[in-house]
Amino acid sequence: MTIEGKKVVSVSYTLYTPSKITGEDTLVEKTEAESPLVWLYGTGSMIPGFEQNLQGKKVGDLFDFVILAADGYGLYDETYVANVPLDAFRGKDGNIESSILKIGNTIPMQDNNGNHLQGVVKEVSLTDVKMDFNHPMAGKDLHFTGSVLEVRTPSEEELAHGHVHGAGGHHH
């Protein structure tokens, strides 16, 4: 069975980010056959370039491809860096939650429209916190290597729910 349409796909992979300066790849994440990535192919839950590079492959096939930043998590956008008033970090007791305001910390936040965001603390001043709301992989090319472990037809329930159930998938 080949990867196409709405199939359940299981892969093990290694993700690197290539350095444009040194030419060296930096390891970002690695899955093993015992805990693979499992998803319902063709439902929009993965980066389109990832799925495009796997289309037509079968169990046992190896893959090795690069997705450019613009086609992955997008280019780094300076407009996603914002100064948030320090008052936004006051706890219920009225005090600033200084324990979370450490450079490099990722803080879950919500915008004025109720959208959930993840912001990384870049700087803290007496009045503001500079937060970066870019995806952590924005601006980075993605180099994937790996192998296809399983391709199967999804159950009716998986199709109806739009995700995989059971081992490696979603549990209700």
Name the least confident of 66-75, 116-125, 160-169. Answer: 160-169
CATH, residue 116: 2.40.10.330
Name the pTM for this structure. Answer: 0.81
* Full DSSP string of 42-59: TSS-S-HHHHHHHTT-BT
Residue 94 forms part of a structural domain: yes
Residue 1 forms part of a structural domain: no
- Cβ–Cβ under 8 Å, residues 17 and 31: no
Q: Are residues 127 and 54 in the same domain?
A: no
pLDDT at 111 over 50: yes
- Cβ–Cβ under 8 Å, residues 122 and 103: yes
pLDDT at 169 over 70: no
Q: Are residues 90 and 57 in the same domain?
A: no
Residue 42 forms part of a structural domain: yes
Range of the domain at 53: 8-74+138-161
Mean pLDDT of 31-46: 93
Mean pLDDT of 86-114: 90
Q: What total of structural domains would you count in the chain? A: 2
CATH, residue 17: 3.10.50.40
Q: What is the pLDDT of residue 167?
A: 61
Mean pLDDT of 9-14: 97
Q: Torsion-angle region of residue 80: left (phi > 0), alpha (psi -120 to 50) or beta? A: alpha
Q: Is the dihedral of CA 49, 163, 110, 128 positive or negative?
A: negative
Mean pLDDT of 60-78: 96
Residue 93 forms part of a structural domain: yes
Q: Give the integer Cα–Cα distance in Å for 83 and 121.
A: 10
Q: Which helix (H) or strand (E) holds 26?
A: strand 25-30
pLDDT at 99 over 60: yes
Residue 2 forms part of a structural domain: no
Q: For residue 100, give the 3-state DSSP assignment.
A: helix
pLDDT at 21 over 80: no
Q: Are residues 29 and 105 in the same domain?
A: no
Strand partners, 8: 40, 152
pLDDT at 97 over 50: yes
Q: Are residues 69 and 147 in the same domain?
A: yes
Q: Give the integer Cα–Cα distance in Å for 86 and 88.
A: 5
Number of Cβ within a 10 Å radius of residue 124: 16
Q: What is the pLDDT of residue 171?
A: 45
Q: Are residues 12 and 96 in the same domain?
A: no
Q: Are residues 68 and 83 in the same domain?
A: no
